[in-house]
Amino acid sequence: MVDFGKVDKQTMNKLLVICGPTATGKTSLAVKLAKKFSSRGRPASGWNGELISADSRQVYKEMDIGTGKDHPKEMKIHLIDVVAPNQEFSVAQYVELAWKAIKDIWKREKLPIIVGGTGFYIKSLIDGIETLGILPNWEMRWRLKDLPAQKLFEMLTQLDPEKAAQMNASDRKNPRRLIRAIEIAKWKMDNGEQKKFSILNSQFSILVVGLTAPYKILYQRIDKRVEERIKEGVEDEIRGLLNKGYSFVYSTLGVTIGYQEWQPYFEGRATQDEIIQRWKFAEHAYVRRQMTWFKKDKRINWFDINKKGWENGVEKLIKNWYTRTDDKEN
């Protein structure tokens, strides 16, 4: 394993991103890396790197087993368990909270490591988003809240056909995302386009590492992980959430893989075996969507976890970047 050695104060403007599809071991790698870095000459002991989650579902409290919050208990990961399952959480909120965490980690002379598979969160953090300053229109949300997804999609198509065409099948069935898209489209009609806001700029050095594997391997890893989560008690976890008053309709349970598939089971319309198979297939499809997204970003340095020695390759790349003081962004 590579020894990262000593670094000076100039390295505290660096941001490491570990991304890629689900079931590739991103968090496990990030935890190992977080132990390796030393800050300003201190010995490489303890947690000298800190993780910031880029997972759009692990922000929800009490949704632990289904979202895979199997992190080391002794290590704090930022942006885990932020809001309740029935609360809104936008990418703008994510960017704001992630930036606060990054600055806090830098202030304590440690390395922030963004880790996760939500590509939109990562891109929005690094490149900025045009909609960051567009506040919720609560009156509009109230008027639209009971409309079916198909009607909302038709409204969006009339307001912003380009945005509607870009939405995937999951987004088109998600009332909350459709309402937000309508809200943004209406705001732009009334106010015009606004300048994209980016919290990161050329004074920061960003390295993006992506983990991947052939789809056959990913599907096998996913299936194994689903079986493990069944054994860990995801059914009881969902039952407990339902008993607390959360529902598949008015909370994020209904739009989260690993939870939404269980609705017909709890309604007596499907067996557990049928649910497990649907869950696995949903995860397979999600992996394909993730890779479609990530492949558009040419900054990602890809490593195939199915190949021998990939981890040493990652560490060598990071060591070279981490100890440099003259680069801006990779």
The answer to whether residues 156 and 60 touch, using CB atoms and an 8 Å cutoff, is no
Considering the domain boundaries, does residue 311 fall inside one?
yes
Q: Which domain holds residue 18?
A: 9-129+205-323
Can you tell me which residue has the tokens 């009607």?
151
Instruction: Based on the fold, state whether residues 215 and 302 are members of the same structural domain.
Output: yes
Residue 192 pLDDT > 80, yes or no? no
Classify the C-alpha dihedral 301-303-309-315 as positive or negative: positive
Sheet holding 49-53, edge to edge: 77-78, 49-53, 111-115, 14-19, 205-212, 301-304
Considering the domain boundaries, does residue 196 fall inside one?
no
pLDDT in tens, 118-162: 999 999 998 887 676 677 788 898 899 899 999 999 999 999 999
Average pLDDT score over residue span 98-118: 93
Instruction: Based on the fold, state whether residues 96 and 216 are members of the same structural domain.
Output: yes
Number of domains comprising the chain: 2
Instruction: Based on the fold, state whether residues 180 and 213 are members of the same structural domain.
Output: no
Helix, strand, coil share of the chain (percent; to 5): 50, 10, 40
Instruction: Based on the fold, state whether residues 227 and 110 are members of the same structural domain.
Output: yes
Considering the domain boundaries, does residue 329 fall inside one?
no
pLDDT for res 166: 86
Considering the domain boundaries, does residue 29 fall inside one?
yes
As a whole number of angstroms, the longest Cα–Cα distance in the chain is 62
Instruction: Based on the fold, state whether residues 30 and 122 are members of the same structural domain.
Output: yes
Considering the domain boundaries, does residue 60 fall inside one?
yes
Say whether 114 sits in a helix, a strand or coil. strand
Instruction: Based on the fold, state whether residues 48 and 90 are members of the same structural domain.
Output: yes
Classify the C-alpha dihedral 260-261-265-269 as positive or negative: positive
Spatial separation of the C-alpha atoms in residues 26 and 3, rounded to whole Å: 20
Instruction: Based on the fold, state whether residues 209 and 115 are members of the same structural domain.
Output: yes
Spatial separation of the C-alpha atoms in residues 105 and 88, rounded to whole Å: 26
Instruction: Based on the fold, state whether residues 113 and 156 are members of the same structural domain.
Output: no
Considering the domain boundaries, does residue 198 fall inside one?
no
Instruction: Based on the fold, state whether residues 169 and 150 are members of the same structural domain.
Output: yes
pLDDT for res 194: 60
Sort 2 into a burial class: Cβ within 10 Å, 0-12 / 13-18 / 19+: middle
Which secondary structure element, helix H or strand E, spans residue 3, and what is its range? none
Instruction: Based on the fold, state whether residues 209 and 294 are members of the same structural domain.
Output: yes
User: Radius of gyration (Cα) for the chain, nearest Å?
Assistant: 21
Q: What is the CATH number of the domain that holds 16?
A: 3.40.50.300
Spatial separation of the C-alpha atoms in residues 229 and 74, rounded to whole Å: 21
pLDDT in tens, 161-173: 999 998 888 788 8
Pairing of the two strands 49-53 and 111-115: parallel
pLDDT for res 30: 94
pTM: 0.81
pLDDT in tens, 65-87: 999 998 887 788 999 999 999 99
Considering the domain boundaries, does residue 217 fall inside one?
yes
Instruction: Based on the fold, state whether residues 115 and 210 are members of the same structural domain.
Output: yes
Average pLDDT, the chain: 87
Considering the domain boundaries, does residue 197 fall inside one?
no
The pLDDT > 90 percentage for the chain reads 65
Instruction: Based on the fold, state whether residues 176 and 39 are members of the same structural domain.
Output: no
pLDDT for res 171: 84
